[in-house]
């Protein structure tokens, strides 16, 4: 989100993060397939996803670089 605001020419570096964050980001459950994560990344044009258990507990972060290193992209 911050990158998108900067690309639009916004002077956002002095703003609080909350003004530019995604309050409810797209996320993925740990048991989902890597191919599903890749589809979400492509569809939403994002570089990463929080990995969140069903109870809402965050357990990690999946970055597109992780998929590249695994040879999935």
Confirm whether 28 is domain-assigned.
yes
In a domain, 42, yes or no: yes
Q: Is residue 12 part of a domain?
A: no
Domain holding 30: CATH number? 3.10.580.10
56 inside domain: yes
Count the domains in the chain.
Answer: 1
In a domain, 18, yes or no: no
Report DSSP state, residue 52: E
Q: What is the pLDDT of residues 18-73, one digit of tens each?
A: 887 788 889 999 999 999 999 999 999 889 999 999 999 999 999 999 899 988 87
Expressed as residue numbers, the domain containing 73 is 23-73
Count of Cβ atoms closer than 10 Å to residue 38 Cβ = 16
Q: Is residue 60 part of a domain?
A: yes
User: Is residue 1 within 8 Å of residue 20, measured between CB atoms?
Assistant: yes
The pTM assigned to this predicted structure is 0.72
CA gap 73, 63 in Å, rounded: 12
């Amino acid at each position: 989100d911050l990158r998108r605001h900067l690309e639009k020419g916004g002077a956002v570096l002095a703003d609080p993060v909350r003004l530019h964050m995604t309050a409810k980001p797209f996320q993925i459950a740990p048991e989902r397939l890597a191919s599903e994560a890749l589809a979400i990344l492509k569809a939403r044009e994002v570089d990463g996803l929080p990995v969140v258990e069903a109870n809402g507990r965050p357990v990690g972060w999946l970055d597109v670089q992780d998929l590249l290193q695994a040879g999935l992209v």
